[in-house]
C-alpha cells in the first residue's frame, strides 16, 4: 500500500517568519507520526529559509517510521545526509533561489553526476530516489544511475486535473509503468491534495509513497493537523 510521508517544511517557514521556536518543528514531526503519518520529509535549502540543517540533526533521532531528506546534492547537502543517514534521500535539481521544486532531473545529461551521488549514498545503506518528470526516458535514465526509486514531479498532474483528469494522469501512468519495468520503486509528490490524490493512487496503485506538505498545512488551518493527516491517509489507503 502507498505510504504517506508528511513534508514539514511549511511549518518551519511559519516559524522562521517570526523567529523563535513557534511552531515547534520538532514537535510537529513527532505529532505527525503520532497522528498516523508513515514518514517525515524535510527539504533543507542552502539559505535555510524553512528547514534548517540544525532541524535535520534534531529531528533525525526522534523519527520512528521513515525519514526522507530531499534536496539538491551540493557538497553541504551530501555531508548532511551522510552524517544523519536517513532511510531515504531524494535528489532534487532545484536552484538555490527556487521558491519550490519546479522540474525533475534530466537523468541522461546528468547520468555521470547522479551515478556518483547514488553510489556515495549507497555506501551508507541509504535508499536513493531521483526526482523526475513524468517521462519514461527520464525514468529509464534514472535506473541507469543506480537509484532505488524515482519520485514523479506531480505539479503538471495537479494543474490539469480539474479540467481533464484522464489526460492529467495518463503520462504518469506511463512513467510509473516504466519505473516498474526497470525494477524501481515509485514515489510521487508536489501539489497532491485531497481533491486529486485518490484518483492518482487508483490509477497508479503500485505507488510506494507520496510526499505532501503544503496542502497538508493549508488544510490543517481549518481541519487541525490530526484530522488532516487522517483525511490524507483515507485517500491513499484505498486498496
Contact between 225 and 32 under an 8 Å Cβ cutoff? The reply is yes
Catalytic annotation on 190?
yes
**Residue 186 DSSP label:** E
Catalytic annotation on 43?
yes
Q: How far apart are CA 239 and CA 220, in angstroms?
A: 25
Q: Is the dihedral of CA 113, 116, 119, 123 positive or negative?
A: negative
Contact between 87 and 46 under an 8 Å Cβ cutoff? The reply is no
Q: Residue 104 CB: number of other CB atoms within 10 A?
A: 24
Contact between 110 and 77 under an 8 Å Cβ cutoff? The reply is no
Select which of 70, 140, 151, 209 is catalytic: 70
Cα dist from 59 to 48, 63, 67, 106, whole Å: 15, 7, 9, 31
DSSP 3-state assignment of 191?
A: coil
Select which of 33, 66, 190, 209 is catalytic: 190
Select which of 33, 43, 151, 209 is catalytic: 43
Catalytic annotation on 38?
no
Which residues fall within 8 angstroms of residue 113, CB to CB, at 6 or more apart? Answer: none
Q: Select from 155, 112, 115 the least CA-distant residue to 132.
A: 155
Q: How far apart are CA 4 and CA 1, in angstroms?
A: 10
Q: How far apart are CA 40 and CA 32, in angstroms?
A: 8
- Report the catalytic residues: 43, 70, 190
Amino acid at each position: 500500500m502507498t505510504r504517506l510521508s508528511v513534508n514539514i517544511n511549511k511549518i518551519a517557514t511559519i516559524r522562521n517568519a517570526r523567529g523563535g521556536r513557534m511552531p515547534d518543528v520538532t514537535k510537529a514531526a513527532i505529532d505527525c507520526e503520532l497522528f498516523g503519518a508513515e514518514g517525515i520529509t524535510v527539504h533543507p535549502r542552502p539559505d535555510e529559509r524553512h528547514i534548517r540543517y540544525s532541524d535535520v540533526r534534531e529531528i533525525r533521532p526522534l523519527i520512528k517510521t521513515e525519514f526522507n531528506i530531499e534536496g539538491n546534492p551540493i557538497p553541504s547537502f551530501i555531508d548532511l545526509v551522510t552524517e544523519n543517514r536517513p532511510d531515504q534521500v531524494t535528489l532534487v535539481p532545484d536552484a538555490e533561489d527556487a521558491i519550490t521544486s519546479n522540474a525533475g532531473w534530466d537523468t541522461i545529461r546528468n547520468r555521470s553526476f547522479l551515478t556518483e551521488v547514488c553510489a556515495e549514498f549507497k555506501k551508507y545503506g541509504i535508499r536513493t530516489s531521483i526526482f523526475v518528470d513524468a517521462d519514461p526516458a527520464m525514468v529509464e535514465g534514472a535506473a541507469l544511475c543506480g537509484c532505488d526509486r524515482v519520485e514523479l514531479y506531480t505539479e503538471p498532474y495537479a494543474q490539469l486535473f480539474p479540467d481533464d483528469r484522464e489526460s492529467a494522469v495518463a503520462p504518469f501512468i506511463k512513467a510509473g509503468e516504466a519505473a516498474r519495468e526497470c525494477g524501481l520503486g515509485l514515489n510521487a509528490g508536489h501539489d497532491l491534495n485531497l481533491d486529486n490524490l485518490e484518483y492518482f493512487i487508483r490509477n497508479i496503485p503500485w505507488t510506494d509513497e507520496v510526499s505532501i506538505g503544503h496542502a497538508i498545512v493549508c488544510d490543517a488551518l481549518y481541519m487541525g493537523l490530526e484530522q488532516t493527516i487522517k483525511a490524507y491517509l483515507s485517500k491513499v489507503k484505498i486498496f
